[in-house]
Amino acid sequence: MKQNSIIFLLIFGLFSCNTEGVKKETGKLENKDVKEKVVQGEDPVQALVPTNQVDLFEAENGLKIKWFEHGKGDFLKDGDVVQINYDVRLEDGTLVDGNQLLKRDFLPFLVGFGLQTSGWDIAFRKLKVGDFVEIILPGDLARGKAGIKNLIPPNATNIIHARILKKVNPTRVIDGTKVWLLEENETEEKIANEESTVDFHYMVSSPSHPKYDISYRRAKPFEMRFSDNGIVRGLKLGLLKAKKSDKLWIVIPAAEAYGNKGLVDLVKPGENIFYDIFIMDVR
């Protein structure tokens, strides 16, 4: 399977950028293809067609950001979740990633935890809600020497067009642990409590080591009893009220994770951690 998008990411992609089964599209977007779609009665999601450049940032590492529209407010920071309408193309115009490939008007993106390549986090820290930009990532800030077989050549420059649509507040916050309920099983009545056992697949990241453990690689979900010892407290807090088939993003502060000790060479002292979770069962 070619690596397709995030979900991105992750599994919406998550686990991102798994582009399997995604067709490649070549050619540049033309004005005749521009359409605006109204999403759930909210503001239109505008097509990603560049207009006149209004600003430019160039870094010594080769990263460039061209602004076509400036948003307002504060710059995005690590731990922010935003909805983005985006696509990623090669220099010849080949489309290799984007929410439209998943037939979605936007996807969520979490800043600072390596959901995409390192260049994404560097660039997004310079953006605000409302920005419409073109981000040019040199190969070493994109997919590097490895590339993605049959999709992105080694050392290929990636060209991202992105609109930052809105910032998404957590669904709930418990003792500093933030939970975003990205997809909810609204028909399931059984919810996780302190007496439950929860089976789930996950990807966990620290800012210094993105995706340092992914349960999908073992083809077996993790089984967690709330009574188990040795489980990060913030993870237990984040899984309270979860239901079968829910998809969650959980950002856990260091104090509810590995604190000032860290975890071997995977989580530095004082680092927050991030879980992308899909609930398989609640018992």
DSSP state of 27: S
Confidence of residue 47 (pLDDT cuts 50, 70, 90): confident
The more confident residue out of 90 and 33 is 90
Does 192 score more than 80 pLDDT?
Answer: yes
Structural domains of the chain, ranges and CATH numbers in brackets: 6-20+43-167 (3.10.50.40), 172-282 (3.10.50.40)
44-48, 93-97, 121-125, 143-147: least confidently modelled range:
44-48
Q: For tokens 């193309």, name the residue.
A: 89
Mean pLDDT score of the chain, rounded to an integer? 86
Q: For 53-99, what is each residue's pLDDT tens digit?
A: 999 999 999 999 999 999 998 899 999 999 999 999 999 999 999 99
Lowest mean pLDDT among 11-20, 44-53, 179-188: 11-20
* pLDDT over 70, % of the chain: 84
> What residue type is 158 in one-letter code?
N
Q: Is residue 45 very low, low, confident or very high in pLDDT (cuts 50, 70, 90)?
A: low
Q: What is the pLDDT of residues 225-272, one digit of tens each?
A: 999 999 999 999 999 999 999 999 999 999 999 999 999 999 999 999
| pLDDT at position 40 | 37
pLDDT score of 150: 87
C-alpha atoms less than 13 angstroms from C-alpha of 19 in its C-beta half-sphere: 22
Whether pTM exceeds 0.85: no
Q: Where is average pLDDT lowest: 91-95, 127-131, 206-210? A: 91-95
> Residues 103-115: what's their mean pLDDT?
95
Is 11 a residue whose pLDDT tops 50? no
DSSP state of 177: E
Taking Cα atoms as reference points, which of 45, 49, 48 lies closest to residue 165? 45
Tokens of 227: 């009574």
Tens digits of per-residue pLDDT, 54-67? Answer: 999 999 999 999 99
**Buried-state track 172-198, b at ≥16 Cβ within 10 A, e below 16:** eebeebbbbebeeeeeeeeebeeebeb
**Tokens (6 digits) for 24:** 């490649």
Task: Calculate the alpha carbon distances from 223 to 64, 74, 111, 164, 184 in Å.
Answer: 44, 40, 28, 36, 20
The residues, ordered by sequence, that sit 6+ positions from 204 with a Cβ below 8 Å of its Cβ are 211, 212, 213, 214, 273, 274, 275, 276
Q: How far apart are CA 107 and CA 53, in angstroms?
A: 25
